[in-house]
Structure 1
Amino acid sequence: MDMDQYLEVFIEESKEHLQACNEHLLQLEKEPENISIVNEIFRSAHTLKGMSATMGYEDLASLTHQMENVLDGIRNMKIKVTPSLLDIVFKAVDYLEEMIFSITDGGDGKKNVSDVVSLLKKIESGEEFSDSSTTDSIESISIDKLTTVKSTYDDFELTVIQQSKEQGFNCYEITVCLVNDCLLKAARVFMVFEVLEQVGEIIKSIPSVDQLEEELFQNEFNVTLVSTETAEVIKKRIMKVSEVENVIVHDFDSMAQVDDLLEAEAEVAPAIMETEEKQKSETAETPSTKSSNKQGGNHKTIRVNIERLDILMNLFEELVIDRGRLEQISKDLNHSELNETVERMSRISGDLQNIILTMRMVPVETVFNRFPRMVRQLAKDLDKKINLQIIGAETELDRTVIDEIGDPLVHLLRNALDHGIETPDIRLQEGKSEEGTVILRAYHSGNHVFIEIEDDGAGISREKVIQKAITKGLITAKAGEALTDSQVFDFIFSSGFSTAEKVSGVSGRGVGLDVVKNTIEALGGAITIHSAIGKGSVFSIQLPLTLSIISVMLVEVQKEKYAIPLSSIIETAIIKKSEILHAHNQKVIDFRGKVVPLVNLKDIFDVPTVTEEDDYVSVVIVKKGDKSAGLIVDSFIGQQEIVLKSLGNYLTNVFAISGATILGDGQVALIIDCNALIK
């Protein structure tokens, strides 16, 4: 059977199972006596093992099997859950993730996991390691030390084993361990196989025969054998091969054991085959069946390759450009039937646009999922107690935005844990609980998504920030007094700026928050800080729902057209020139009781004067966080949905321009980056 067709399904489902393992392990750390959590982890590990074996990834199957043994011990009350035990299981999950990522990148999913496997075996062996007074217990130690993963079998192999047992044959799993300094391992394996073939039939080997021939194993390997000989005879024969240190022969001593294996294998297969069956059943459905399913509330889902969605989006963007062109032609010709058709096409393409954008939406949960593990490890490194709360993980964002926000959030969380939350002893002195709380929150508001990182830590000292800013020559002492808290906290985003008294392994070098701000602004978003001494801080990130198709206000500057994103606009106004004032060599206006600085786009973009100026000016009031500015333009054209296109590799650093678009009349309009114009 060609397994390549199932590879994508395997990778996606493996990631889901590993995420489930991570989440449940964190839960288990809080409730170590809760066996139902252990059962959930066991279920995920068991399914992953079966899927890996079915796909032929033996290293993955081996490690998950060893994890299963430990989890089985926990749920049978033989092993007690401790923080050090969980550290080892977490490490095993990390290794599994690395192997899955290797497969995702086209690798073979192989990794040397002997360190974790030996630790898991020590956990599994329990008390036997300390009670080794007799030769029997010494033998049991060597068995524990040697027992490698029991083989995972496909349907054919299980059938052979079952039929052999029914016909009176013995079936063995044999672990052979070679001496550490064995020189010709492949030759020794060949000799062992030769001995085994004289006494029975080999069903399976782990690693595979090819890997054994290439010596791609440590010092031990597994062989499954069907034979009429006893376990003692087989062991003696193998031990005669030189450089074999030890042999363990495990007997399938009852049919019940074979039935258990068959049952376990039966649980595994559906995970891989489900998609194929689903596709077959959907193809077989008649339209009436589908509609009845819909009415019955059965939601069917299908995995779609991201690249296909990107191609669909690009095609639709071209359609939007042509739609704009048709609207323009229709307006110029003023033909009633054409107008009607174009209006209908606009409505339908608008609905289509909403569907495509919704398809590209991904819950922020996909980013948030990795943070509980990170916070747990950081809290241990910093010797702090942290309670991470995640709210609104189901909030959806465009995939292009999701791909970019992971790193900024990592920086902000590390900052909150290192600088924000105090150590337990300091928190107790200040009358707080010794466990600090960090809240990661996401929610929709209008055409934006807000992500907030809130902590109940020490807060940001306004005086410290001002002092540091003065030291770095960013402001004078007098100017510092006049700044609002929000303006003061903005200095934290300056490159190389840090109020940390000492540099830790986590933060304090002044690197990170400037990158965070740049990344978020490049996405068309903004970041603000609210903080109170002794109470904590809130870092609030505002992000656009999507980056590909945006609503803009088209404006004209002389004969050139520019697009200003609606998300940045507060309102538009027409003012008399006599109302323009001057303050600190800057043109300003008094707009609704607030002083707003003016920026003349003609000067910024060096647009040559073609028409005479009149006594009135058109102004677009734009915002960046809580700051605002007025952009002077010649006229407003109107609101329009446009496709955002990059300027290409040659024009990467054009000041205050974030991209371009093609208008309905075929002209190119540049899109203004308002964030760059507001200081």
Structure 2
Amino acid sequence: MELSQYLDIFLEESKEHLETINNQLVELERNPENIEIVNEIFRSAHTLKGMSATMGYEDLASLTHQMENVLDMIRNHKLAVTSTLLDVVFQSVEYLEAMVFSIADGGDGKKNVTDVVELLIKIEKGENVENSTKVTQASGTNDYTYDSYEVTILEQSEEQGYSPIEITVTLRKDCLLKAARVFMVFEVVEQIGEVIKSTPPVQQLEEENFEESFTITMVTKEEQDEIKERIMKVSEVEMVEIKTIHTKNLQVSQTSKVDQAEQVVEIEQAAIQAAPAIEPITKAEPVANTKGVQTTKTIRVSIDRLDGLMNLFEELVIDRGRLEQISKELNESELIETVERMSRISNDLQNIILNMRMVPIETVFNRFPRMVRQLARELGKKVEIEIIGAETELDRTVMDEIGDPLVHLLRNAIDHGIEMPDARRALGKNEEGKITLKAFHSGNHVFIEIVDNGGGISKQKVLNKAISRGIVSPQMADSLTDQEVFQLILSSGFSTAEVISDISGRGVGLDVVKNTIESLGGSITIDSIEGKGTTFSIQLPLTLSIISVLLTEIEKEKYAIPLSSIIETAIIKKEEVLTAHGQEVIDFRGKIVPIVHLEKVFHVNKEESKESNLYSIVLVKKGEKMAALVVDSFIGQQEVVLKALGQYLNSTFAISGATILGDGQVALIVDCNALIK
């Protein structure tokens, strides 16, 4: 029997079962007496075992079989659920995920699973495996792979002129205070760059749980010889090796690897109607068949086909705009009526296609409980995660990009936000910290909030750090609002961490979070109460392909400003323009707003004879900040298709893309975020 034709289905269903197992294991740790949860895990494991055996993936099947034996003993009350047992099962699932990813990448799915199988057998026999699990976990961390977020940081740092390097430091064998020497080495490297990661992790280095060597991954602008010379000055350092990291060849760790296999979207096959509405399967309603049995019919469609359909529809939107323009010029009633009808139908079609691309955000959220559990255990903290609004839907394109920023914000909340259990008890708090991950729709946007009940952000500490780094002046610091102060932690290279941590980066992370979100047309705001907790709020557009804009004109050039960034438009007299610190500003309802002349930004040559006594301005926002963009005139609101400028023009300042208008002209889409300082 030819099994290759079933490979896509096998991969898709395997990932679904592994996701179920992961989520239910986290739930089982909270409710160890709930046998129904164990039954749910057992069913998924049993199905995965059968599928793997049928497809010929023996390592996958044998590991699942052994895991199934342990689960069977738990549900028959022969084994009690303990943290050590769950550690081994979680490790088994990591191995299973690695094998499935290997198959998805064209591999054979083989893996040496002897160590974890032996642990499962010991558990089945009732033997103690606590020491064994610690050894396995320690050895598992000592690799030189990077998760996808660390790769992003290294790549973006390299683009900004930094050199990504790995520094391997070897201490003398007779070194007595290894942790102290490690601290001194980190003191040196912190002065010359930013630490991204250490191998082994910092916690193991502090506990002296390593041999003589350790590796620091960092970005810097210093010469390698200079770095080596400075580190060698630390006593009891025997050798320093420095290797340049080639970001294009970086190996991404399997457990954090983004699913690169063919993605599919399940679409409800609705009854044939005049205007059928197609929704994702998560919203599918049961359809009554002729026998009166309630069933839901679904089909799997490759995301590539949906992308192709979206591209064709984008061309249709451009032609629709052209037809509307022609019908206005000819003023033929029948033509106008036909075009209006076509516009209504195409609007319905647009809604259907966009809905087909919408994916519940739970596909991203579901991996976080396990990650939070693992990080909390590594840091010796107790953290509960609550997920609200996982059914909220977001365009698949946006979904692909938002995962890594959320991972970093959660790591930051666990590492820097939530206090240690004894510190929380001393403050009269519950020793278990809580992180709430919430998603909801509002208008044409999706909001994602990460809320923690930890120590909050110290406004004074942030200001002191910002002043010492030269990000703000002491005079400017006095006039900043709380919101503006908190936004400073998103500045490039900013960090208030007093100790090095490989959990949440060294200050080159939060600015990447901000840049990623703004590149999606979104924004991030921070609210915090010291001693109470912090809230990161992310605003994202529902979709990136078709956006609503205000068309404006400068001389004979047309510029589109996204409506999501606009507060309002106005016409003001030149006499109303003031000057402050050499910058033109206006008083907008009691708030001083800087003026930005788009003709100067985009070097548009204007005829002096057209100079007017009035300014047409567009008030735009970026978080709490605003700017007034000066244009010649307003054309009107329009839905346009966002087209990328291509690799040669993608770095053009303050331009996020272009669109083709109904009359065939090209309008550039203004990136308001780049214009607001």
Once the two structures are superposed, the pairs formed by residues 26-425 of structure 1 within 5 Å of their partners are: 26-126=26-126, 293=289, 298-425=295-422
Match of 2:623 in 1: 625
Query: What TM-score do you get using the length of structure 2 for normalisation?
Result: 0.75
Query: 1:670 is paired with a residue of what secondary structure?
Result: strand
Q: Does 1:662 align with 2:650?
A: no
Match of 1:235 in 2: none
Query: 1:366 is paired with a residue of what secondary structure?
Result: helix
Cα distance in 1 for residues equivalent to 2:498 and 2:331: 70
Match of 1:429 in 2: 426
Cα distance in 1 for residues equivalent to 2:349 and 2:505: 48
1:472 corresponds, among 469, 472, 495, to 469
Cα distance in 2 for residues equivalent to 1:439 and 1:88: 27
Match of 1:676 in 2: 674
Gaps of 5+ in 2: 130-263, 277-285
Cα distance in 2 for residues equivalent to 1:292 and 1:435: 48
CA deviation map 1:271-322 (0-9, x unaligned): xxxx9xx999x99xxx9xx986499864322111110000000010011111
CA deviation map 1:638-670 (0-9, x unaligned): 111101001001112100000000111111100
Match of 2:638 in 1: 640
User: Which amino acid in the other structure matches residue 107 of structure 1?
Assistant: G
Cα distance in 2 for residues equivalent to 1:94 and 1:435: 26
Cα distance in 1 for residues equivalent to 2:9 and 2:432: 41
What displacement does 1:128 show? Answer: 11
User: Which amino acid in the other structure matches residue 626 of structure 1?
Assistant: E
User: Which amino acid in the other structure matches residue 621 of structure 1?
Assistant: L
What displacement does 1:505 show? Answer: 2.5
What displacement does 1:516 show? Answer: 0.3
Cα distance in 1 for residues equivalent to 2:310 and 2:438: 29
Query: 1:302 is paired with a residue of what secondary structure?
Result: strand
Cα distance in 2 for residues equivalent to 1:547 and 1:663: 18
Question: What is the percentage of aligned positions where both structures have the same residue?
Answer: 71
Cα distance in 2 for residues equivalent to 1:300 and 1:346: 30
Query: 1:408 is paired with a residue of what secondary structure?
Result: helix
Per residue, is there more helix in 1 or in 2? Answer: 1
Cα distance in 1 for residues equivalent to 2:90 and 2:503: 21
Cα distance in 2 for residues equivalent to 1:351 and 1:469: 50
Match of 2:233 in 1: none
Once the two structures are superposed, the pairs formed by residues 440-589 of structure 1 within 5 Å of their partners are: 440-507=437-504, 509-589=506-586
Match of 2:597 in 1: 600
Cα distance in 1 for residues equivalent to 2:20 and 2:63: 17
CA deviation map 1:202-255 (0-9, x unaligned): xxxxxxxxxxxxxxxxxxxxxxxxxxxxxxxxxxxxxxxxxxxxxxxxxxxxxx
CA deviation map 1:524-577 (0-9, x unaligned): 100010001100000011100000000101000111000000111111111111
Cα distance in 1 for residues equivalent to 2:393 and 2:287: 28
User: Which amino acid in the other structure matches residue 360 of structure 2?
Assistant: P
Matched-pair contact (CA < 8 Å) for 2:268–2:297: no
Matched-pair contact (CA < 8 Å) for 2:553–2:632: yes
Query: 2:610 is paired with a residue of what secondary structure?
Result: coil
Query: 2:317 is paired with a residue of what secondary structure?
Result: helix
Q: Would the alpha carbon gap of residues 375 and 291 (structure 1) be closer, same or farther in structure 2, given more than 3 Å must change?
A: closer
User: Which amino acid in the other structure matches residue 298 of structure 2?
Assistant: T
Query: What TM-score do you get using the length of structure 1 for normalisation?
Result: 0.75
Cα distance in 2 for residues equivalent to 1:29 and 1:444: 31
User: Which amino acid in the other structure matches residue 355 of structure 2?
Assistant: T
Cα distance in 1 for residues equivalent to 2:331 and 2:296: 45
What displacement does 1:5 show? Answer: 2.4
Cα distance in 1 for residues equivalent to 2:539 and 2:447: 5
What displacement does 1:628 show? Answer: 1.1
What displacement does 1:124 show? Answer: 1.1
Cα distance in 1 for residues equivalent to 2:368 and 2:63: 24
Cα distance in 2 for residues equivalent to 1:128 and 1:397: 46
Cα distance in 2 for residues equivalent to 1:127 and 1:591: 73
Matched-pair contact (CA < 8 Å) for 1:500–1:508: no
CA deviation map 1:597-653 (0-9, x unaligned): 111101110101136122212111111111111110001111111010010011121
Which structure has the larger Rg? 1
Cα distance in 1 for residues equivalent to 2:419 and 2:644: 44
Cα distance in 2 for residues equivalent to 1:299 and 1:620: 49
Cα distance in 2 for residues equivalent to 1:438 and 1:362: 23
Deviates further, 23-32 or 445-454: 23-32
- The two structures, once aligned, show a CA RMSD in angstroms of 2.2
Query: 1:304 is paired with a residue of what secondary structure?
Result: strand
Query: 1:649 is paired with a residue of what secondary structure?
Result: coil
CA deviation map 1:464-518 (0-9, x unaligned): 0010011111222222111111111111111211111111231351121010001
Cα distance in 2 for residues equivalent to 1:398 and 1:77: 44
Q: Would the alpha carbon gap of residues 279 and 483 (structure 1) be closer, same or farther in structure 2, given more than 3 Å must change?
A: closer
Matched-pair contact (CA < 8 Å) for 1:502–1:508: no
Query: 1:316 is paired with a residue of what secondary structure?
Result: helix
Q: Would the alpha carbon gap of residues 293 and 553 (structure 1) be closer, same or farther in structure 2, given more than 3 Å must change?
A: farther
User: Which amino acid in the other structure matches residue 459 of structure 2?
Assistant: R
Cα distance in 1 for residues equivalent to 2:541 and 2:637: 18
Match of 2:237 in 1: none
Match of 2:141 in 1: none
What displacement does 1:57 show? Answer: 1.4
Cα distance in 1 for residues equivalent to 2:287 and 2:319: 34
Cα distance in 2 for residues equivalent to 1:279 and 1:55: 28
Q: Would the alpha carbon gap of residues 342 and 631 (structure 1) be closer, same or farther in structure 2, given more than 3 Å must change?
A: same
User: Which amino acid in the other structure matches residue 46 of structure 1?
Assistant: H
Matched-pair contact (CA < 8 Å) for 1:499–1:508: no
Cα distance in 2 for residues equivalent to 1:41 and 1:95: 16
Query: 2:110 is paired with a residue of what secondary structure?
Result: coil
What displacement does 1:90 show? Answer: 0.4
